[in-house]
């Protein structure tokens, strides 16, 4: 069976190459990929793994937390060991490679570790107790990289590694995520000015996948990451990797084909490796990266969730959130969403451009500004019209004003995180959300980058002191977060691939019903999005005579109406099954 599966994978690899390249280049690429697979198969020991409810992913920078006398990655490991060892089993270390800008997303050397953070030895130490997600920042590379320097030096090895165009080329159809110029000027070693494609910034030069040699280099990098301990690979900004003049240059067929090819190559060496696509685009476009359910990404960032959750909490109504949730479908039981509320980036609003209208998006924009956040824009069309792209703000500051009472701030924040933990899929917990960080304006003043507002680097001793202080907001959020994580990871109904449905109960309440795979057990998660107690008629839950217990507080709920406190929650479970488990 193994040989048959391998034969099928190689057939799919060849099929993808034939679709993307001409006959001659396809054959050359196929031969080189075969050698590459043989090379890494000897180095990588495959370890089968099935994701369960215990899989929770912490999103963090390698130098997120620091302590004098040790590497940042070693300090991160110490934090994980001391605070979340029993609750978080996977760590997404944001780009820890040598870089020149954008906090790691402009990579100088794909195969190195930033000396300021540590070394590969530190990464290996982390991998002993946690599964690791690495970033595949493969749409672009730093202008200071050897690849781009080789290109500017007219080195034959790097010929056509980047997309060079006449600046008069009509690029008006290209979808833009930024307001910066699409083409940037560089002077090569012979003094010639060259105009090169740069989707995100002048320091992030787009790779040209029309040259199959670029694909080979990138595949080598991804396989190297697996060799170094990556169980999950996040494909950053992957929607933009294929360029074709006269099109939008986003979500092109070649892009999907490249993802399919990468998946087959990775699985030929390590079938357990998961691909996660990061595409901050309208929801209907984002989910296309699931493919048919067995050929592209196993996980897709659920970009619509953060803005919709914020909108619902600020408005006190879940109508839009529930309507959207009821559209969620998966093409197979082998894929799932990656659910999050905050990350190193801001809260993207493009994902809800086909869900919220302009006034509703402006409501989010105005609240962000009122709460001392920042809004970033993107260019639209030939006229360079600016449209809101993302809200740059810590998530707690999107939900509440910095001057609000800490009790209200903690309640709203924990409500948003609890919803995320119970959504179908795998939860992603941003480090700053876990410890209740607020806007960090000082970094914005220093870097002049809006996204720095939610990227503060933290002192380990200070964090320890603040999280031990019962009057500190960090303490309130972390303790409650940890409690929810400890419950979630022991409930099979929260398995990423288990069946689910969303109940429409009343405007103030968001309701998720999660089942175990055999549908013998369930958990109904109920959330009150208002500042007053809400009564839920039991018959709306469609649970018959089942005895229910809230697994958070261990209170029984068998009356005609179930009260939910302001910004409160219930995780209701059928008590019969719990008794049966105890008896066994």
Q: Which residues are catalytic?
A: 236
Are 233 and 277 a contacting pair, CB within 8 Å? Answer: no
- Tell me the β-bridge partners of 571: 525
Q: Tell me the H-state helices in 276-400.
A: 283-286, 305-315, 319-325, 358-370, 395-399
Please state, in angstroms and rounded to a whole number, the distance separating the CA atoms of residues 391 and 222. Answer: 31
Crossing angle of helices 72-79 and 460-468, in 10° steps, is 20
CA angle 482-483-488, nearest 5°? 95
Sorted by sequence, the CB contacts under 8 Å of residue 57 that are 6+ apart come out as: 88, 90, 91, 92, 133, 232, 338, 426, 427, 428, 429
Please state, in angstroms and rounded to a whole number, the distance separating the CA atoms of residues 241 and 325. Answer: 29
Residues found in the chain: 584
Backbone φ, ψ for residue 127 (5° rounding): -70, -15
- The two structure tokens encoding residue 194: 């060259």
Please state, in angstroms and rounded to a whole number, the distance separating the CA atoms of residues 146 and 164. Answer: 18
- Tell me the β-bridge partners of 196: 164, 184
Are 84 and 99 a contacting pair, CB within 8 Å? Answer: no
Sorted by sequence, the CB contacts under 8 Å of residue 142 that are 6+ apart come out as: 99, 100, 101, 106, 107, 108, 148, 203, 204, 205
CB count in 10 Å sphere of residue 381: 12
Please state, in angstroms and rounded to a whole number, the distance separating the CA atoms of residues 364 and 446. Answer: 26
Burial category of 575 from C-beta neighbours within 10 Å (exposed 0-12, middle 13-18, buried 19 and up): middle
CB count in 10 Å sphere of residue 22: 9
Sorted by sequence, the CB contacts under 8 Å of residue 359 that are 6+ apart come out as: none
Are 216 and 258 a contacting pair, CB within 8 Å? Answer: no
Sorted by sequence, the CB contacts under 8 Å of residue 244 that are 6+ apart come out as: 252, 254
Please state, in angstroms and rounded to a whole number, the distance separating the CA atoms of residues 504 and 318. Answer: 9
Please state, in angstroms and rounded to a whole number, the distance separating the CA atoms of residues 412 and 407. Answer: 9
Burial category of 329 from C-beta neighbours within 10 Å (exposed 0-12, middle 13-18, buried 19 and up): exposed
Backbone φ, ψ for residue 295 (5° rounding): -135, -10
Please state, in angstroms and rounded to a whole number, the distance separating the CA atoms of residues 87 and 236. Answer: 26
Alpha-carbon distance values, 409 to 80, 345, 548 (Å): 25, 21, 29
């Amino acid at each position: 069976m193994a040989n048959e599966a391998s034969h099928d994978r190689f057939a799919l690899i060849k099929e993808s190459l034939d679709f993307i390249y001409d006959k001659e280049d396809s054959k050359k690429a196929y031969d080189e990929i075969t050698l590459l697979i043989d090379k890494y198969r000897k180095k990588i020991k495959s370890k089968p793994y099935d994701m369960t409810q215990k899989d929770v992913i912490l999103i963090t920078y390698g130098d997120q937390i620091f302590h004098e006398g040790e590497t940042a990655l070693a300090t991160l490991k110490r934090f994980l060991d001391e605070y979340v060892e029993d609750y978080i089993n996977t760590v997404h270390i944001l780009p820890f490679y040598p870089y020149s800008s954008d906090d790691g997303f402009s990579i100088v050397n794909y195969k190195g570790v930033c000396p300021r953070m540590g070394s590969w030895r530190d990464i290996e130490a982390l991998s002993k107790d946690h599964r690791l997600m690495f970033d595949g920042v493969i749409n672009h590379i730093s202008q200071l990289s050897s690849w781009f320097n080789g290109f500017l030096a007219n080195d034959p090895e790097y010929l056509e590694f980047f997309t060079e165009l006449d600046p008069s080329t009509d690029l008006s159809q290209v979808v833009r995520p930024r307001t910066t110029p699409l083409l940037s000027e560089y002077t090569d070693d012979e003094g010639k000015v060259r105009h090169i494609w740069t989707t995100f910034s002048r320091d992030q030069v787009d790779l040209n996948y029309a040259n199959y040699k670029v694909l080979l280099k990138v595949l080598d990098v991804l396989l190297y990451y697996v060799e170094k301990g990556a169980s999950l690979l996040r494909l950053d900004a992957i929607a933009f990797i294929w360029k074709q003049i006269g099109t939008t240059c986003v979500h092109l067929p070649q892009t999907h084909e490249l993802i399919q090819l990468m998946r087959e190559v990775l699985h030929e060496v390590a079938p357990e490796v998961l691909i996660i696509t990061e595409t901050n685009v309208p929801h209907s476009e984002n989910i296309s990266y699931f493919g048919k359910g067995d050929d592209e990404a196993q996980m897709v960032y659920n970009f619509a969730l953060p803005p919709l959750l914020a909108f619902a909490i600020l408005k006190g109504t879940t109508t839009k959130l529930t309507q959207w949730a009821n559209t969620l479908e998966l093409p197979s039981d082998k894929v799932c969403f990656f659910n999050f509320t905050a990350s190193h980036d801001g809260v993207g609003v493009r994902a809800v451009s086909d869900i919220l209208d302009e006034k509703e998006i402006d409501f989010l924009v105005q609240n962000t500004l009122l709460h001392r956040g920042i809004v970033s824009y993107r260019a639209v069309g030939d006229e360079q019209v600016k449209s809101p792209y993302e809200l740059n703000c810590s998530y707690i500051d999107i939900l509440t004003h910095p001057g609000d009472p800490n009790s209200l701030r903690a309640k709203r924040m924990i409500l948003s995180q609890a919803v995320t933990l119970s959504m179908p899929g795998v939860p992603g917990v941003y480090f700053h959300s876990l410890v209740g960080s607020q806007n960090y304006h000082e970094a914005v003043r220093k870097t002049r980058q809006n996204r720095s507002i939610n990227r503060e680097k933290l002192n380990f001793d200070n964090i320890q002191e603040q999280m031990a202080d019962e009057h500190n907001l960090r303490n309130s959020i972390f303790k409650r977060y940890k409690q929810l994580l400890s419950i979630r990871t022991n409930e099979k109904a929260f398995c990423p691939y288990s069946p689910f449905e969303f109940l429409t109960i009343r405007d103030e309440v968001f309701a998720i019903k999660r089942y175990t795979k055999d549908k013998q057990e369930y958990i109904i998660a109920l959330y009150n999005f208002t500042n007053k107690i809400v009564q839920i008629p039991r018959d709306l839950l469609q649970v018959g005579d089942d005895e229910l217990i809230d697994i958070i507080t261990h209170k029984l709920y068998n009356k005609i109406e179930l009260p939910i406190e302001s910004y409160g929650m219930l995780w209701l479970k059928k008590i019969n099954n719990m008794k049966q488990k105890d008896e066994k």
